[in-house]
Structure 1
């Protein structure tokens, strides 16, 4: 029995040794040795993907170092934009919202690989982008931003054989826009979308607009921009300059590259006119028509005057609630408060008329009186009744309101046209 047991044990050991050698050969066939270290590579990829996988698995890429050219030159980054829409232009919050695609291009020689031709490229999934260096661009004045994630993260990085990288992402951002509302609602606003590097100076990273930016359209669909509900886009312009950053405690002042696109927006007047100007005009005319009511009908005249004052006050309060609280009067404020004064003047006029009629009636009853007031003498000398004050006032009321409208609209239309010409120049 002992020789049989020993033979069985030796057979088992031989089988295990043969199986181990076969597994080692299979592992060696799918790996590459570099520096004595064997790395397993996916057998189902092609030559390009295997090179990328080998680079990531060997951890020979330093994420904290920016790509540099010969002589430690600054990294050259080109930026191109494709704006899908401009929405939510708010005067109250003084901001607007962009939905756009950013396309950044630079060269990183550390990512060069061998391909059949120079046009070959590899697209990396979003989970691998965090392992590569990308420019730290941010949007100046952005209140909130987010990257779209439907149906996957809208972030793509494409690497070409010479190390050129095309980094694309789709974002929605709300950007502050400091508006000047002196001529509101006949105003034109200039809003800017600016990009800067967060940590690199102009000696380390330079920003430039893409060479194709002037030839291609900035907007993906112009109809989404041209048909904005409140504004008309007149034109846009690209800018590039260096921004000086002030010195902080222990740090030297630096300059950073900045790229921006300015948008000239003109407000549509028609919708605002029927929401604010037309009701105010109607209240002024309605209060003026009240002067044709018999002065002796006190309840009717008082009710009409008070109702007109309350209505114009409600219109002013409602419109001011949708606008920012600025320290100056806008063009619409001037018009609405002028209409308020016109309406309020009809109430004051009737108060004076009612007092004069009451005074004249009491003076007629005093037959034995020898003294008369100066006002009563003037009316008797002129042969006029106090109620004729309505006739003079309503003529002056309507003419004054007409002159005010001519002067108001002439001034602000001319001012708007002058501003439009100056911006185009």
Structure 2
């Protein structure tokens, strides 16, 4: 089986019937012309939908003689409902929960560290459970791409906290001017006067800049994840719906 597009894969399974004792001059196998494969209309297969079937006759050539045979091919498409509910929805929620740290203060170390580590460990445990259900293969599957991007998102949120926490506690040197904060990201932190009209003393650390980065990440992280979903889902669903038209034997796959 080919798991490159798992769980959006389509598989082709075949069964062969041939003679091993009598050559084709003694016995020949052929399919009946009308309705060669009689299957139940309401046939259900766990995790798969039967999307088509095909049959052919063939001859095997050996030094001891030629032998007649029959082949039947069943074309299956994997159902996605189980994986959407058990894998994709939980991982999306874990990634969204990791963004809560952007609304916490840069100096809220216990809350932001516990949130980042918990979401990362939860996602790692979920990914291990998914991989344990599949045989080890040497290529990247569609589910690996999804889990990998989700882990990058969660790990990126944890690294972002590390940077803003360091920035919030870094003192501003007297002979060095702090870099300029864009007005659209400054919020209420960069106002020169407080609510009572009293001038605000100049900051001694880069706390305002750290909060600015948090505000920027509130839009960057969800935006990147949204773009990834817009590319991921149409690509793999299209691959599953429009599976290759020919398998290894060259037979045409029915579109029904």
Separation of aligned partners in 1, 2:36 and 2:181 = 82
Which among 414, 418, 424 is matched to residue 238 of structure 2? 414
User: How many pairs does the alignment contain?
Assistant: 226
Q: How far off its partner does 1:297 sit?
A: 1.5
User: Compared with structure 1, are the counterparts of its residues 216 and 260 closer, same or farther at alpha carbon in structure 2 (3 Å cutoff)?
Assistant: closer
CA offsets, 1:274-328, max 9 Å, x none?
A: 1111111111111112211222221110001001111111111110111111110
Partner of 1:234: 51
Partner of 1:243: 60
Partner of 2:13: 191
CA offsets, 1:352-395, max 9 Å, x none?
A: 11111111xx33xx6xx43x3xxx62147976532211110121
Separation of aligned partners in 2, 1:258 and 1:410 = 41
Q: Is the 8 A contact 2:8 2:240 kept in 1?
A: yes
Q: Per the alignment, in what secondary structure is the counterpart of residue 110 of structure 2?
A: helix
Aligned positions of 1:13-412 closer than 5 A: 179-209=1-31, 211=32, 214-215=34-35, 218-219=38-39, 221-223=40-42, 225=43, 227-245=44-62, 252=63, 254-359=65-170, 362-363=171-172, 369-370=174-175, 372=176, 377-379=178-180, 384-412=208-236
User: Compared with structure 1, are the counterparts of its residues 381 and 313 closer, same or farther at alpha carbon in structure 2 (3 Å cutoff)?
Assistant: closer
Q: How far off its partner does 1:206 sit?
A: 1.8
- Unmatched 5+ residue regions in structure 2? 184-189, 191-207, 247-252
Q: Is the 8 A contact 1:379 1:386 kept in 2?
A: no
CA offsets, 1:141-168, max 9 Å, x none?
A: xxxxxxxxxxxxxxxxxxxxxxxxxxxx
Q: Is the 8 A contact 2:11 2:77 kept in 1?
A: yes
Q: Is the 8 A contact 2:30 2:70 kept in 1?
A: yes
Partner of 1:424: 254
CA RMSD, 1 decimal: 2.3
Q: Is the 8 A contact 2:106 2:210 kept in 1?
A: no
Separation of aligned partners in 1, 2:136 and 2:179 = 49
Q: How far off its partner does 1:253 sit?
A: 5.3
Q: How far off its partner does 1:421 sit?
A: 6.4
- Unmatched 5+ residue regions in structure 1? 1-178, 246-251
User: Compared with structure 1, are the counterparts of its residues 240 and 380 closer, same or farther at alpha carbon in structure 2 (3 Å cutoff)?
Assistant: closer
Q: Per the alignment, in what secondary structure is the counterpart of residue 207 of structure 1?
A: coil
Separation of aligned partners in 2, 1:296 and 1:413 = 43
Q: Is the 8 A contact 2:53 2:74 kept in 1?
A: yes
Range moving further from structure 2, 317-326 or 408-417: 408-417
User: Compared with structure 1, are the counterparts of its residues 188 and 386 closer, same or farther at alpha carbon in structure 2 (3 Å cutoff)?
Assistant: same
User: Compared with structure 1, are the counterparts of its residues 230 and 407 closer, same or farther at alpha carbon in structure 2 (3 Å cutoff)?
Assistant: same
Q: TM-score, normalised by structure 2?
A: 0.80
Per chain length, whose mean CA-contact separation is higher, i.e. which structure has more relative contact order (CA < 8 Å, sep 6+)? 2
Bigger CA radius of gyration: 1
Q: Is the 8 A contact 1:287 1:305 kept in 2?
A: yes
Q: Per the alignment, in what secondary structure is the counterpart of residue 28 of structure 2?
A: strand
Separation of aligned partners in 2, 1:399 and 1:277 = 18
Q: TM-score, normalised by structure 1?
A: 0.50
Separation of aligned partners in 2, 1:358 and 1:244 = 79
